[in-house]
Amino acid sequence: MTVELYGQARLLAGQKIVEVALPVRSSPADFAQRLADKYPALVGKAIRPDLSGPMDSYVLNLNGVEFISGASVELRQGDTLLLFSSQAGG
């Protein structure tokens, strides 16, 4: 699964785009755990310390269209997850 990182998450991971193995039906916790495994620097910054999902100050978005609020989501081949700050305004 392709994951695009933005903001501080990108700077901490040192990469814009990362690949993470995720089950077809994935929850935010699945995402957080797999991403934390590869990029532990994100824990406590973009990912909750308990690995239950992104920090409140971040959002997960599917393909630039659907914001993932908490429930599991079905992922398809070619899907991309985006992780960016929830304070999108300014």
- Total of residues contacting other proteins (CB under 8 A): 27
79 binds other proteins (CB under 8 A): no
Which residue among 17, 25, 40, 63 contacts other proteins (CB under 8 A)? 63
What is the rounded end-to-end Cα distance, in angstroms, of the chain? 30
Residue closer to other proteins by CB (options 20, 68) is 68
Give the other-Cβ count within 10 Å of 45's Cβ.
Answer: 17
CA 11 to CA 58: how far, in whole Å?
14
Which residue among 50, 56, 77, 78 contacts other proteins (CB under 8 A)? 56
37 binds other proteins (CB under 8 A): no
CA 5 to CA 30: how far, in whole Å?
17
Asked if 47 contacts 54 with a C-beta cutoff of 8 angstroms, the reply is: yes
68 binds other proteins (CB under 8 A): yes
Which residue among 19, 37, 57, 74 contacts other proteins (CB under 8 A)? 57
84 binds other proteins (CB under 8 A): yes
Could you tell me which of 22, 7, 12 has the C-alpha nearest to residue 62?
22
